Amino acid sequence: MVGMRGAYGGACNDDSKSRLHGGKAAEPEIASMAVHKVAPPPARSTASKMKVRVKETFFPDDPFRAFKGQPPGTQWLMAVRYLFPILDWVPSYSLSLFKSDLVAGLTIASLAIPQGISYAKLASLPPIIGLYSSFVPPMVYAVLGSSRDLAVGPVSISSLIMGSMLRQAVSPTAEPTLFLQLAFTSTLFAGLVQASLGILRLGFVIDFLSKATLVGFMAGAAIIVALQQLKALLGIVHFTTEMGIVPVMASVFHHTSEWSWQTILMGVCFLVFLLSARHVSIRWPKLFWVSACAPLASVTISTLLVFLFKAQNHGISIIGQLKCGLNRPSWDKLLFDTAYLGLTMKTGLVTGIISLTEGIAVGRTFASLKDYQIDGNKEMMAIGLMNVVGSCTSCYVTTGAFSRSAVNHNAGCKTAMSNVIMALTVMVTLLFLMPLFVYTPNVVLGAIIIAAVIGLIDFPAVYHIWKMDKMDFLVCVCAFAGVIFISVQEGLAIAVGISIFRVLMQITRPKMMVQGNIKGTDIYRDLHHYKEAQRVSGFLILAIEAPINFANSNYLNERIKRWIEEESFEQDKHTELHFIILDLSAVPAIDTSGIAFLIDIKKSIEKRGLELVLVNPTGEVMEKIQRANEAENYFRPDCLYLTTGEAIASLSALAKMTKP
């Protein structure tokens, strides 16, 4: 202990001294200090390493941990409960829980019915499909889903994307049946994509949609969706089928003749009503029900108005006849014709991933609010299966919606039962109340959509991102601009591309820091960060902060040579550079090119009459260095140290001994 401390003291003295008297070396006793050797990591077979890596990649949450050491019977039970989370809460379900769920369920139902109809129209599908999609999927999710707050149903963005992608190939007005078939088929593929992502434990794929990307994308999509509603809001009949802001605005102002003042008047009134209701609920969270019920209220009121004033004869378009009855089976409608297979698969992939991202994000948000865990991959299976079932029961893509889940949460839902309540309410509507919607004006549906999607534009988040990270802000802006000017999918692709490119750049141009000693201690830190850190004369201490691989070995090579040249100037004249210390503590991995780089830089440093020393190579790096040594002994033990302090101490001692 004392010996050690002496050694450390020596080390410190040495540094301080050498700084004071310009590189005069340390006291003799240091030469005899106990230096810790860099140990090779315990040998492991490639197979076992692979096993660990695969586990970390696909099973980071180690889902089978709980199963270990349980009797087979229990294991079976646990497996079943893992697959059907409903079994976790049903046995202990109580009346008090039911009361809260009932309230929450009815509240989200009153939101789900008008939104269902509206979003279906947004996807150019018959309104009834929207209600179908708010009936079966919630039931399925209640059984399979592990989130207690997720309110399942159709959502604006997926509806928008599906509609726009399918319309590129088929016109919903000209060939409604075909369009419907394609919608169901895409939903099936979306479900399959989602489920397989979960089963194959590839959940991390959606992590590549960063917060910044999503904020920008959502805002852009919200605007696109809102613009689409101008058709309904202005009562325009001949509207463009394109999405971009430019064609839409053009089409709006080319058909000014078609604007109907009655429609506009009604639209504006209800829009104002809905927005102020929304404002109230944001201002006083206890009044969440105001905005929750506003849509249904508007539908009811507007329908009544139309009915009373026969407004349909005064240029206000209405939904029209909707036939009663529950979802019809639709597996016979699934279309695998090669002519459309590519389209449906692509649509399924995009809508699947987008809706999945939304669903998982919502789930995670509320889980962390109520502090319970949800297993991302398990959720994906649930949502995926929900959509597969949906595609066979006349539903289109559904997921957990931000807005509705928030209402569900505020309304005090306790379990997934609230989804069941909602589904049952929708069922009642489907069975008996459909005729009431005959006179519902489309303009109100438009207003409902606008009021809903405005919530997707998250200004505080944008400001936060701008303050935090300018690059993230750029990503956000690109996503936004891409969506509103180019197209929804491409905007997303661009943003993801930039984010990934940025990650790659962090590897290609890794951070390196020149370290100095913090006076009177054994601590070495970045010279540019810590003003009290001082150069150790005779030494250049470099720390690399990235895996060393093919993408950066050339850069590191050039850069280090430049550091050395610059350092040779920096060092005060009467001491010149002797040792280059490369601190590898922050290098988690190294590949063949990386090793080649280490060997090359060592040689060229020695050609300059300097000496290269490696500090604290971590497990994998140390392994590779050893393998390299097998071929030729590049890195002798005496150029590997465990800490910079020890390296400097013993090297200066050495230097002193060699040239007295």
Contacts to a copy of itself from residues 24-43, by CB under 8 A: 36, 39, 41-42
Residue in 264, 287, 454, 586 binding a copy of itself, rule: CB under 8 A: 586
Minimum distance between the CB of residue 247 and a copy of itself, rounded to whole angstroms? 26
Residue 559 binds to a copy of itself (criterion: CB under 8 A) = yes
Residue 520 binds to a copy of itself (criterion: CB under 8 A) = yes
Largest distance between two CA atoms of the chain: 108
Chain positions 167 to 226 lying near a copy of itself, rule: CB under 8 A, are 204, 207-213
Nearer to a copy of itself by Cβ, of 6 and 176: the residue is 6
What is d(CA 114, CA 127) in angstroms, rounded to the nearest whole number?
10
Chain positions 142 to 171 lying near a copy of itself, rule: CB under 8 A, are none
Dihedral angle sign, alpha carbons of residues 619, 621, 624, 630: negative
Residue 643 binds to a copy of itself (criterion: CB under 8 A) = yes
Each residue of 72-110: b (16+ CB within 10 Å) or e?
eeeeeeeeeebeebbeeeeeeeeeeebebbebbbbbbbb
Chain positions 618 to 637 lying near a copy of itself, rule: CB under 8 A, are 618-620, 622, 624, 627-628, 630-631
Residue 540 binds to a copy of itself (criterion: CB under 8 A) = no
Instruction: Please state, in angstroms and as integers, the Cα–Cα distance from residue 361 to each residue in 236, 397, 531, following that order.
Output: 36, 17, 42
Nearer to a copy of itself by Cβ, of 507 and 654: the residue is 507
Hey, how many other C-beta atoms are within 10 angstroms of the C-beta on 191?
Answer: 27
Minimum distance between the CB of residue 571 and a copy of itself, rounded to whole angstroms? 17
Residue in 547, 579, 647, 650 binding a copy of itself, rule: CB under 8 A: 547
Contact, 16 vs 654, CB < 8 A? Answer: no
Chain positions 425 to 454 lying near a copy of itself, rule: CB under 8 A, are none
566: nearest Cα among 519, 512, 525: 512
Nearer to a copy of itself by Cβ, of 160 and 209: the residue is 209
Minimum distance between the CB of residue 380 and a copy of itself, rounded to whole angstroms? 13
Instruction: Please state, in angstroms and as integers, the Cα–Cα distance from residue 390 to each residue in 124, 130, 397, 432, 506, following that order.
Output: 18, 11, 8, 22, 42
What is d(CA 1, CA 13) in angstroms, rounded to the nearest whole number?
18
Q: Interacting stretch for a copy of itself, rule CB under 8 A, among 148-156, 169-177, 407-415, 517-525?
A: 517-525
Radius of gyration of the chain (CA): 33
Nearer to a copy of itself by Cβ, of 75 and 604: the residue is 604
Chain positions 104 to 133 lying near a copy of itself, rule: CB under 8 A, are none
Q: Interacting stretch for a copy of itself, rule CB under 8 A, among 228-236, 335-343, 383-391, 550-558?
A: 550-558
Residue 549 binds to a copy of itself (criterion: CB under 8 A) = yes
Residues 6+ apart with CB under 8 A from 77: none
Query: What does the chain come to in residues?
Result: 660
Q: Tell me how far the alpha carbon of residue 12 is from its chain's centroid.
A: 47
Instruction: Please state, in angstroms and as integers, the Cα–Cα distance from residue 607 to each residue in 109, 199, 222, 611, following that order.
Output: 77, 55, 62, 9
Nearer to a copy of itself by Cβ, of 332 and 606: the residue is 606
Minimum distance between the CB of residue 495 and a copy of itself, rounded to whole angstroms? 11
End-to-end Cα spacing for the chain: 30
Chain positions 280 to 319 lying near a copy of itself, rule: CB under 8 A, are none
**Residue 58 phi, psi (nearest 5):** -105, -25
User: How many residues of this chain bind a copy of itself (CB under 8 A)?
Assistant: 106
Instruction: Please state, in angstroms and as integers, the Cα–Cα distance from residue 327 to each residue in 61, 136, 399, 601, following that order.
Output: 38, 8, 18, 70
**Residue 46 phi, psi (nearest 5):** -55, -40
Chain positions 495 to 514 lying near a copy of itself, rule: CB under 8 A, are 499-500, 503-511, 513
Nearer to a copy of itself by Cβ, of 433 and 586: the residue is 586
Q: Which two tokens stand for residue 468?
A: 């935090």
Minimum distance between the CB of residue 561 and a copy of itself, rounded to whole angstroms? 8
Nearer to a copy of itself by Cβ, of 451 and 542: the residue is 542
Chain positions 56 to 95 lying near a copy of itself, rule: CB under 8 A, are 56-57, 60-62, 65
Q: Which two tokens stand for residue 569?
A: 């100037």
Minimum distance between the CB of residue 615 and a copy of itself, rounded to whole angstroms? 12
Nearer to a copy of itself by Cβ, of 22 and 41: the residue is 41
Minimum distance between the CB of residue 155 and a copy of itself, rounded to whole angstroms? 21
What is d(CA 17, CA 27) in angstroms, rounded to the nearest whole number?
10
Nearer to a copy of itself by Cβ, of 8 and 307: the residue is 8
Residue linked to tokens 């306790």: 414
What is d(CA 216, CA 212) in angstroms, rounded to the nearest whole number?
6
Nearer to a copy of itself by Cβ, of 215 and 423: the residue is 215
Minimum distance between the CB of residue 578 and a copy of itself, rounded to whole angstroms? 20
Minimum distance between the CB of residue 475 and a copy of itself, rounded to whole angstroms? 9
Residues 6+ apart with CB under 8 A from 120: 126, 127, 128, 129, 130, 131, 133, 154, 159, 396
Beta strand 539-544 pairing with 399-400: unpaired
Contact, 547 vs 594, CB < 8 A? Answer: yes
What is d(CA 439, CA 437) in angstroms, rounded to the nearest whole number?
6
What is d(CA 455, CA 453) in angstroms, rounded to the nearest whole number?
5
Minimum distance between the CB of residue 575 and a copy of itself, rounded to whole angstroms? 23
Residue 469 binds to a copy of itself (criterion: CB under 8 A) = yes
Residue in 133, 147, 552, 652 binding a copy of itself, rule: CB under 8 A: 552
6: nearest Cα among 39, 37, 25, 28: 28
Chain positions 334 to 393 lying near a copy of itself, rule: CB under 8 A, are 364, 368, 371, 373, 376
Residue in 337, 592, 629, 657 binding a copy of itself, rule: CB under 8 A: 592
Nearer to a copy of itself by Cβ, of 74 and 554: the residue is 554
Contact, 495 vs 479, CB < 8 A? Answer: yes
What is d(CA 620, CA 201) in angstroms, rounded to the nearest whole number?
25
Nearer to a copy of itself by Cβ, of 154 and 594: the residue is 594
Minimum distance between the CB of residue 629 and a copy of itself, rounded to whole angstroms? 12
Residue in 250, 432, 528, 637 binding a copy of itself, rule: CB under 8 A: 528
